[in-house]
Amino acid sequence: MTSPLSVIILAAGKGTRMQSAKPKVLQTLAGKSLLGHVLDTCHQLTVDDTIIVYGFGGEQVQDHIAHQYAHLPITWVAQTEQLGTGHAVKVTLSELPKDGQSLILYGDVPLVSCQTLATLQAANTDGMSMLTLTVNNPFGLGRIKRDQAGNIEAIVEQKDATSDEQQIQEINSGIYCVDNALLHKFLPKLSNDNAQQEYYLTDIVKMAVADGITIAAIEPEHTFEIEGVNNRQQLASLERTWQGKLVADLQEAGVQFADPTRVDIRGTLSAGQDVFVDVGVVFEGNCTLGDNVYIEAGCIIKNAQIGNACHIKPYCVIDKATVGAGVDIGPFAHLRPETILSDNSKVGNFVEIKKSTIGHGSKVNHLSYIGDATIGTGVNVGAGVITCNYDGVNKSQTIIEDNAFIGSNSSLVAPVTIGDTATVAAGSVITKDVDANALAFGRARQTQKDDFQRPTKK
């Protein structure tokens, strides 16, 4: 039977060096808060309890989690004084079960992987396991001191290390998996008898060794998994590192990027074969691209599904839309939520579509607004056409049936239906239904005054 698992996330730091009114753990990386990354990762495991230790900006942190992670049961514990990492974990004891084990994580160390945490948990067979890393330059970091048998015997801080100990390249990440019984035993014994007068979590390693506990250590696959964020420069650096990892994974799956350093993925992106992504493209939320999709520069794609062989021209915004196969979009098109483009349809320059369906092979090529509409197959919508869907109070539907032709600069005042193979003359204002195969025009009669003299400037 699997031991119950608690997760303790230390998220009380102010992050003074961020120079922000927001708590550090609410700063964003790849479109998600640092704390959100940690929560999403650890909850890929089977977690029984989640305890978040909060401090500065606690109300902001709680509001964010309540909004974004309402599905997760969270226990909140306040750390009213910043007295060190040992103290931060100690304040959870009143809420921490006495059985099972706990992962101790940090709200400002966002990129530890689920696989690493699962391995760390599995390695805890004798009461404690910890995440370490071998680095080329360990200066300033706590060293992992081992005995002749290779067992961990202490964590030595830089200021306390001898010249020999300073040569040790294995460092402490601060991430642990510890039996709850040991936390209840060791944490009340922590002392702040040191220069900083803080309670150090690393002291539980010394206590475990004194109790004869063999501490297991594992290393993550990637160095960035243990990197924390303390200032804007570190945040930007970690952002680029993470984007590089996401792009590299997609390249291995067959996606071609014009410049891997000039794309942002702020969520999840899955893609088929022979996809091309030009520079400056931003993906947000959950996006899916089919095979042979070609995306030109500067597009923003949010929570969208793009079918096979689509061509998205420069500077389009696609938000919560579904695009079929073989569709041409843009440039400068805006697909708003609940837009559906059927196979082989076309949406062109400066077209905005909202909560509408464009049928198979239909075209909305230029300078048009289509809202709350259903457009059938083989329809041509001319330049500057507007569906007038809002009367100031209610929104109404426009229906354009198969093979209709809507002339340029027409306004379709909803609710209205344009019948099968009907034609609307250019410049018309249509307020009544148009029958199938009919021609409708609703515009003022043209008049002319010959020999008109323009006004002259006085």
Between CA 130 and CA 141, with CA 135 as vertex, the angle to 5 degrees is: 65
CA 201 to chain centre: 31
Question: Is the Cβ–Cβ distance between 368 and 389 less than 8 Å?
Answer: no
How many other β-carbons are positioned within 10 Å of the β-carbon of residue 55? 20
Tell me, what amino acid is at 448?
Q
Sequence length of the chain is: 458
Q: Which residue from 97, 94, 155, 99 is spatially nearest to 130, judged by alpha carbons?
A: 155
Give the residue among 301, 306, 365, 378 at the shortest CA–CA distance from 336: 301
The shares of helix, strand and coil residues in the chain, as percent rounded to the nearest 5, are 20, 30, 50
236 Cβ contact list (under 8 Å, min separation 6):
none
Residues ≥6 apart with Cβ < 8 Å to 150: none
Query: For 167, how many CA atoms within 13 A lie in the half-sphere containing its CB?
Result: 2
Nearest Cα to Cα of residue 283 among 266, 295, 305: 266
Catalytic choice (43, 184, 360, 366): 366
Strand partners for 9: 52, 105
55 DSSP 8-state letter:
B
Of the candidates 189, 171, 186, 54, which has an alpha carbon nearest to the alpha carbon of residue 108? 54
**Of 292, 281, 343, which is closest to residue 314 (Cα–Cα)?**
281
The closest alpha carbon to 364, from 398, 319, 414, belongs to 398
Q: How far apart are CA 358 and CA 348, in angstroms?
A: 13
Tell me if residue 424 falls in helix, strand or coil.
strand
DSSP secondary structure of 284-352 = EEEEEE-TT-EE-TT-EEES-EE-TT-EE-TT-EEES-EE-TT-EE-SS-EE-TT-EE-TT-EEEET-E
Alpha helices in 221-295 (DSSP H): 232-252
- Told to judge if 366 belongs to the known catalytic residues of this protein, a careful annotator would answer yes
Helices and strands counted in the chain (H then E): 7, 39
* Residue at 293: amino acid letter: V
Catalytic residues: 366
